[in-house]
């Protein structure tokens, strides 16, 4: 079949940035990258369904963005099925999903317990494949496509001492994204990921291990000479969620200030 170019080769790029009348779901919207993603989507016109295990946090962020709060456990198959059914029943459509949920328990690989290993695969992977399944179920019933965007991690692309199980689970998430993109592309469903490097989130702000010395070390090894913050990640997630990324699927965009492209070795010359 011959592919015909669009009649208008210069589209309205401003319109491609807008999400007016669209409905987007943010999994883990209660703070940090999830909260910023909800604000980014809302700023471009979307109605945002703010999902969090903590009902109060979901309500707070939904209030900030004039969205909809939804409380539940996204590692539960029944809850994820209910979530997407509720969204479509209430709004009649679903346009995108951003899933930022993840957590790491830092320790050497040789010290991991079976519980540690299972924890990482549940908190990084389980909700991702459930979101893919039940968002797709709704899109196929509606006869529409949409965008699924996941937060992976540079730990899944590079060596991350102390984060072996977390990095392995994030690497698996990026593989899942690629496979889902291929399988769901014919349905008009785009699947992508954003892989942050060192990001100063609200959770890290309260961590006593985040010393001034650690901050300086991370800044010095980053070409842009600064740490990343949640809005940096939200901007990349917003791009994948928008029509601007309408021909992008199966990709992982690294947001790390350039740290991952540095060959960390001193040359003798």
At residue 269, the pLDDT reads 37
Q: Which tens digit of pLDDT belongs to each residue from 64-75?
A: 999 999 999 999
C-beta neighbour count of 65 within 10 angstroms: 21
Domains identified in the chain, total number: 1
Specify if 218 maps to a domain: no
C-beta neighbour count of 143 within 10 angstroms: 8
**CATH number (domain holding residue 64):** 3.40.50.720
For residue 185, give the nearest of 136, 254, 125, 150 by alpha carbon.
136
Which residue range forms the structural domain that includes residue 193?
A: 20-201+231-255
At residue 5, the pLDDT reads 66
Specify if 7 maps to a domain: no
At residue 161, the pLDDT reads 85
pTM for this prediction: 0.91
List of the chain residues with pLDDT < 50: 1, 265-269
Specify if 195 maps to a domain: yes
Q: List, by residue number, the catalytic residues.
A: 166
At residue 46, the pLDDT reads 98
- The HSE-up count of residue 77 (CA atoms within 13 Å, CB side) is 1
Specify if 11 maps to a domain: no
Maximum Cα interatomic distance, the chain, rounded to a whole number of Å: 65
């Amino acid at each position: 079949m011959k592919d015909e170019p669009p009649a208008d080769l210069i589209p309205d790029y401003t319109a491609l940035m807008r999400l007016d009348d669209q409905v987007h779901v943010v999994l883990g919207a209660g703070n940090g990258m999830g909260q910023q993603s909800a604000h980014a989507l809302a700023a471009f016109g979307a109605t945002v369904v703010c999902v969090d295990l903590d009902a109060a946090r979901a309500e707070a962020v939904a209030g900030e963005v004039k969205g909809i709060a939804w409380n539940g456990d996204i590692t539960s198959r029944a809850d994820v099925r209910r979530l997407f059914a509720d969204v479509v029943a209430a709004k009649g459509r679903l346009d995108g999903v951003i899933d930022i949920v993840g957590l790491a328990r830092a320790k050497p690989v040789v010290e991991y317990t079976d519980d540690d290993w299972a924890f990482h695969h549940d908190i990084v992977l389980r909700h991702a494949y459930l979101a893919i399944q039940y968002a797709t179920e709704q899109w196929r019933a509606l006869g529409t496509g949409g965008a699924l965007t996941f937060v992976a991690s540079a730990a899944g692309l590079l060596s991350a001492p102390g984060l072996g199980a977390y990095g392995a689970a994030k690497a698996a998430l990026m593989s899942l994204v690629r496979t889902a993109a291929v399988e769901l592309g014919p349905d008009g469903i785009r699947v992508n990921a954003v892989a942050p490097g060192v990001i100063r989130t609200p959770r890290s702000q309260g961590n006593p291990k985040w010393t001034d010395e650690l901050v300086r070390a991370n800044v010095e090894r980053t070409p842009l000479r600064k740490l990343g913050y949640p809005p940096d990640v939200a901007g990349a997630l917003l791009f994948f969620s928008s029509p601007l990324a309408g021909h992008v699927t199966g990709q992982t965009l690294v947001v790390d200030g350039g740290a991952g492209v540095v060959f960390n070795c001193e040359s003798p010359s």
